[in-house]
């Protein structure tokens, strides 16, 4: 090894911006190595600058020293690493870094929404994680960890944090569940950035109609409701449907292919801080709800909170225990 390629620890510290104590710490952790001169002085090869630079960046990205050690151990110990050695290491890192980037982006984009952690403290939890259903997937923030409500096993019952009162079986079939979910579209329906959402409306609506417990949905001549407006804000799109039961609606929303689009809602819709995304109420079987009726239920939920008159998934309410004709 050429002597002009060897650096004192002070020179190494000046070039990397690290304290001498930090360099000694990294050496003790066997992340870098030094040699001794004939006089017994510690010297480092110039390639240690690159190692230390990688170490500093990796620590800032959240890698532990053990992880960094394991990665750097893949470099040759008997010679200075060349381009090929670093290329192999870069390939190993690339997949991990891409995964970290994806997780950071997910954290950035969804931290103010439901992350499937079980707190059910935000309004959006009513839609994304009703009754802490994500607990069936395991501990931790399941949606930040890459899972969705579509991953929920059908055989595992949802935990009941806010269980609805039991319905009266004598009146259950006399009532249907009306629901309206709304979204403030970020871009116009004919904007290319809305294209994927618009292109999937027909198959998702067809999926709803084929789902057990589906009764009716609002639609215009196009077969969907994107041209129908019920609010002063014309960017708000309504989706008004009727189902036989709350469980039938939940199965469609959270256990069918529809769940993928629930999780991607933020790609097409802005956060709804002023209005509830979902409003439900019981109607006599055979009754067709109107948008005027639906908007009145939304207003009631905003003003009075959840009740048997208007509610969301947390908490829910059973059908009335009286005959609707009485």
Rounded CA-CA distance 300/306 in Å is 9
Length, in residues, of the chain: 326
pLDDT digits 0-9 by tens, 130-151: 677 778 888 777 776 667 655 6
- Phi, psi for residue 255 in degrees, rounded to 5: -120, 0
Rounded CA-CA distance 69/63 in Å is 10
pLDDT less than 50: residues of the chain: 1, 155-171, 323-326
pTM over 0.85: no
Q: Are strands 236-243 and 175-185 parallel, antiparallel or unpaired?
A: antiparallel
Same fold, 3-109 and 172-304: no
- Model pLDDT, residue 245: 95
CATH number for the domain whose boundaries are 3-109: 1.10.1660.10
For the chain, what are the domain ranges? 3-109, 172-304
- Model pLDDT, residue 130: 67
DSSP output for 114-181: --SSS---STTHHHHSGGGGGGGG-SS-TTTTT--GGGS-TTSPPP-SSPPPPP-TTTGGGEEEEEEE
Burial class of residue 23, CB neighbours in 10 A (0-12, 13-18, 19+): buried
Query: Out of 2.40.50.140, 1.20.120.1460, 3.30.1330.60, 3.30.70.100, which CATH number does the structure's domain 172-304 have?
Result: 3.30.70.100
pLDDT digits 0-9 by tens, 260-295: 888 788 889 988 778 899 999 999 999 999 999 999
């Amino acid at each position: 090894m050429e002597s002009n390629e060897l650096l004192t620890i002070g020179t190494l510290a000046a070039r990397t911006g690290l304290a001498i104590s930090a360099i000694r710490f990294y050496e003790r952790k066997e992340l870098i190595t030094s040699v001794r001169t004939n006089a017994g002085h510690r010297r480092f090869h110039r390639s240690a600058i690159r190692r230390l630079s990688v170490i500093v960046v990796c620590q800032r990205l959240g890698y532990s020293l053990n992880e960094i050690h394991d990665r750097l151990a893949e470099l040759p110990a008997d010679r200075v690493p060349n381009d090929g050695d670093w290329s192999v290491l870069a390939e190993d890192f690339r997949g991990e870094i891409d995964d970290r980037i994806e997780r950071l982006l997910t954290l950035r984009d969804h931290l103010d929404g439901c992350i499937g952690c079980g707190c059910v403290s935000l309004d959006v939890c009513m839609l994304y994680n009703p009754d802490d259903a994500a607990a069936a997937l395991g501990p931790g923030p399941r949606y930040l960890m890459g899972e969705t409500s579509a991953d929920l096993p059908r055989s595992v019952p949802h935990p009941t944090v806010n269980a609805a009162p039991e319905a009266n079986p004598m009146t259950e079939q006399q009532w249907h569940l009306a629901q309206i979910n709304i979204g403030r579209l970020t871009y116009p329906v004919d904007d290319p950035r809305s294209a994927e959402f618009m292109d999937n409306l027909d198959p998702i609506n067809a999926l709803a109609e084929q789902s057990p417990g589906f009764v009716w949905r609002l639609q215009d001549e196009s077969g969907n409701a994107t041209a129908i407006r019920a609010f002063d804000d014309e960017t708000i799109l309504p989706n008004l449907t009727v189902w036989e039961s709350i469980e039938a609606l939940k199965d469609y929303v959270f256990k069918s292919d529809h769940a993928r689009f629930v999780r991607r809602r933020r790609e097409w819709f802005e956060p709804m801080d002023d209005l509830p995304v979902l409003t439900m109420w019981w109607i006599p079987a055979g009754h067709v709800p109107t948008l005027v009726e639906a908007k009145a239920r939304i207003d009631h939920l905003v003003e009075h909170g959840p009740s048997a008159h208007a509610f969301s998934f947390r908490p829910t309410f059973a059908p009335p225990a009286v005959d609707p004709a009485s």
